[in-house]
Amino acid sequence: MALEIEETHERLRKLVRDLESLDSTIVQFDPTMIVEAIKPRAFRPPADWSKRGEMSRLILSVLRCAAEPLTARDIAFELIVERALDKTDQRLIRLMSKRVAVALRHQQDSGVVRSHQGPGQYNLWEITR
């Protein structure tokens, strides 16, 4: 493991050097550019997450760790935080909530999870025990 850690540190050092080179190249072409103001591109989940089963596994993991039943939106927010995505992106939250709801309905059809009416029109989801 020590060798793997050292290799990871070396890769990180190389990435830092590459980023510094890129920053200096940008400044050569535009000396007024503030490179620190450039935001990194956010990771976007692939459209086929649920097809590979990853979405369902993550959802079930969140539900297993939950102390109480959760809404699809709560679960989606947990997935966004766990994946280190932008938790302020409302569009992403809506998209993930829809994907979570579809995955939950599939799991409900399989008898793995169940839902019951929560506050308002929200369903609360939990693992079937």
Q: How is the chain split into domains, by residue range?
A: 2-37, 49-127
Q: What is the percent of the chain with per-residue pLDDT over 70, rounded to a whole number?
A: 91
Task: Output the six-digit token pair for 45.
Answer: 């989940």
Residue 118 has pLDDT above 90, yes or no: no
Distance CA 102, CA 21 (A): 44
Which of 1.10.10.200, 3.10.180.10, 1.10.10.10, 3.40.309.10 would CATH assign to domain 49-127? 1.10.10.10
Q: Is the pTM of this model over 0.75?
A: no
pLDDT of residue 129 exceeding 80: no
Strands (E), 56-129: 113-117, 123-127
- What are the pLDDT digits (tens) for 76-111? 999 988 888 888 889 989 999 998 999 999 999 989
pLDDT digits (tens, 9 = 90+) for 45-75: 656 555 567 888 889 999 999 899 999 999 9
